[in-house]
Amino acid sequence: MDFHHPHLIGDCLIHIFTFLSEDDLISASTVCKDWHEAAETPWLWRRMCMQRWSFCNLAALGGDQVNHSWKRYFLRRSHLEKNMTEGRTGNYTCKSLRGHTGRVVGLVYLQGNSYLLPDLSKSSAVACSASTDGTVRAWNIQKGESLWCSPVQNPLTGIVADEKEEVVITSDSTGLIKTWQGQTGQELGSFSTASSHCTLLQYNINNDWFLTVGTGQGSICTLADLTLTKKSSLMVCDSVKVNVLLVSPDKKWIIAGTKENDDLSLKVINSESLTSPSEDEESLCQTVPVLGCQAAVFIPTQPARLAIIHHTDLRGNKALTVFDVSIKKMKYKTEIQVQQMESFPLTLNLYSSQILLEAKNSNCIVLAAREELWVYSLKGAVLANFKDHVMPISSICVDSFRVVTASQDLSLRVLTWKNDKDGGLTLESQYHLLGGSHTMSRGFTHVACDYASIVASVEGNNGKDVLKAYSFTS
């Protein structure tokens, strides 16, 4: 080494340190002054952050700028993920959220911690729950406190939220749709569909806010703005309730249909036909060429790729088929094209059971049926299969870091994603989170997650459901 040019020594050390793990880098920083200065180079820690997470934000550390460093960001976020992966006692807190006097029919995050850009200084995620007791309740997840409760109305049947606008939307047993201001619980608007069943889908196109509602009569109604102004109505499956309602990632397509009738197909509708209907033109609509939908999901990393589990010609057997949705403009008309990309039979026994389907990325879907969890590629390869539960899975939550399954056996199972040695994506089962005693409860019914917490509803034997909130620390 040329001791007359010490910067060369530092540059060489920094290059060598790029081959070290974070633990080795921390150890190297204790060897001597030169090694310490090289190991503390912000570029090294920024490089490790970007390699591991792709998206990082130093402002997530909170506080003053003195505490902002790539090393501190890496250590705090990796510590949080380690806690979420191991699930050891002391790495998380568990709060019981009590107040509902009926069944919880749904729960959503109103203010969550983003998976792409988590706020490591954030200490107050907010979740909302809807119940058959006719109330919506907002909860501080970390503190386990009730923030507000709506006035009592008819039993609620559904709930969705728009985190960006901090708005909660609910439906009740008479078909009354309401919007609620998330901070205060103030009612913002209402609309009656006169349907005992409603499926809710909220989405934004450009800067415009929309809500499409599927009814028990087989129609979908599209409302605009938080005041719920009616824009359009369309029949999609006459006299059969709409319980499949999805919007594509590019917001150009709405999928609507039912799982109640094996002789019916899903419909693909151009979203503009619903949000900006023309009196002179019919809605642009096309039928998906498979019957008997059991579950459906859009692939989140593609503009409009749809995966559907459906019946095949053989009774009781099912297949998963993947379609791409696009538009074809011709000289005198415009058509929706639904092109089949992949299709394969499902070998698991799914006869007469509830099927839950979620998508991870462009080549990975997660399927739950009875007590089992399956991970498939979109080519049909089984990537993983788990039998962690002893009773049926009632709800699943899938994100870029983990999968959480809720079961009637009164446990949550946490599984985490990782790349195996061959570079492929795989899922690893990690640990259970328990929900209480079977003498008091019947099992978990719903689960939702943000980056640093999990909230789930437990069905009480006395008819009063309780929420369990698990918060992990960084």
* pLDDT tens for each residue of the chain, 474 residues long: 455 555 556 677 777 777 767 777 777 777 787 777 777 777 788 888 888 877 777 766 555 554 468 888 888 888 888 888 998 888 899 999 999 999 999 999 998 777 777 777 666 789 999 999 999 999 999 899 999 999 999 999 999 999 889 999 999 999 999 999 999 999 999 999 999 999 999 999 999 999 999 999 999 999 999 999 999 999 999 889 999 999 999 999 999 999 988 889 999 999 999 999 887 777 889 999 999 999 999 999 999 999 999 988 766 788 999 999 998 887 778 889 999 999 999 876 655 568 999 998 888 999 999 999 999 999 999 999 999 999 999 999 998 889 999 999 999 999 999 887 666 788 999 999 987 777 788 899 999 999 889 999 999 888 899 999 999 887
CA distance linking residue 214 with residue 197, whole number of Å = 8
Residue 383: left if φ>0, alpha if ψ -120 to 50, beta else—which one? alpha
Give the list of residues 6+ apart from residue 235 with CB closer than 8 angstroms, or none.
218, 219
Give the pLDDT score at 248: 96
Residue 25: left if φ>0, alpha if ψ -120 to 50, beta else—which one? alpha
DSSP 378-396: TTS-EEEEE---SS-EEEE
CA-angle at 198, arms to 469 and 208, nearest 5°:
85
Give the pLDDT score at 314: 65
Give the pLDDT score at 24: 75
Cβ atoms of 179 and 167 closer than 8 Å: yes
CA distance linking residue 17 with residue 25, whole number of Å = 7
CA distance linking residue 108 with residue 115, whole number of Å = 16
Domain boundaries, the chain: 6-84
CA distance linking residue 447 with residue 120, whole number of Å = 22
CATH number for the segment(s) 6-84: 1.20.1280
Q: State pTM to two decimals.
A: 0.89
Give the list of residues 6+ apart from residue 114 with CB closer than 8 angstroms, or none.
450, 451
